[in-house]
Structure 1
């Protein structure tokens, strides 16, 4: 097609009209709400996908410190199974948004569950575990099981 073809302005206008129509569709409900939800997800998909944990060891115990900012005490569970400690957080949020102007009512609920398991090299005493939670900092002290010391005899042979 030659550059000065008479159909060229018509095609340009048709393409421009198509883009305007697509833009209009993307701005209307429910498409706009779906696109907004996708944008929200990718801005912050997994804010607490892992739990930051520090483990210190003394002669008599393990000291585990976990950072859990914004988490409430009742959202945390601690389990000890097979010489390992598991910290689990179940976080749920609910929000309601009413827009009288657009006559819309949006109700959002989300549930997040994440956990971290820390295995221990030395046997632990499951009966001697203490935990405290203050200002987003979980501190757990776990006593080690005392082992039996075995003396080595000198073989005379």
Structure 2
């Protein structure tokens, strides 16, 4: 007589949901242990913030009857780092940060110098050409406000 013990997967008494549960346990253990967990976490972190912090900024455009008010939230940015450029009916807001980091040893000898440059910009399109002479901009407490008067074209009467 054979003393062969039936395997678990062929055991008709064992419910299939229990086999599935064991498979799921094994998969959870696999994905929750290193190095897989660390790899998956780094992918999650990348997609939460695909761009470096500060690479973009929030801009609102409000149209009143007389003007466009464009607001940009720029916390921690100095006035000298902000550049406005007008070309036709486009307004571009650029923020540029340049830093020079140096590391020195105890003898004041520089052993590492790192130059960092970050640049971010947003372009807003308006329905008419912008007259740069009438544009007003102010920057206070991290909020840039740009006021652009709406241009109304000349109405031409048609003769009979």
Which bracket does the TM-score occupy, shorter chain normalised?
0.5 to 0.7
Q: What is the Cα deviation at residue 99 of structure 1?
A: 5.9
1:83–1:53 CA distance, 2 compared to 1 (3 A): same
How far 1:97 moved relative to its partner? 3.6
Cα 1:67–1:148 shift into 2, 3 Å: same
Q: Is the 8 A contact 1:123 1:144 kept in 2?
A: no
Q: Could you state the TM-score of these two structures normalised by the residue count of structure 1?
A: 0.59
Contact persistence 2:101–2:113 (CA under 8 A): yes
Q: Distance in 1 between matches of 2:75 and 2:131?
A: 29
Match of 1:68 in 2: 74
Give the superposition deviation at 1:124: 3.3
Farther-moved stretch of structure 1 (52-61 vs 140-149): 140-149
- Structure 2: 5+ residue stretches without partners: 1-45
Asked if residue 130 in structure 1 is aligned to residue 136 in structure 2, the reply is: yes
Residue 119 of structure 2 corresponds to: 113
- Residue of structure 1 equivalent to 2:65: 59
CA RMSD of aligned residues (A): 3.0
Residues matched between the structures, number: 111
Q: What is residue 54 of structure 2 aligned with on the other side?
A: 48
Query: How far apart, in 2, do the equivalents of 1:59 and 1:149 lie?
Result: 18
CA separation of 1:124 and 1:45: change in aligned 2, threshold 3 A: closer
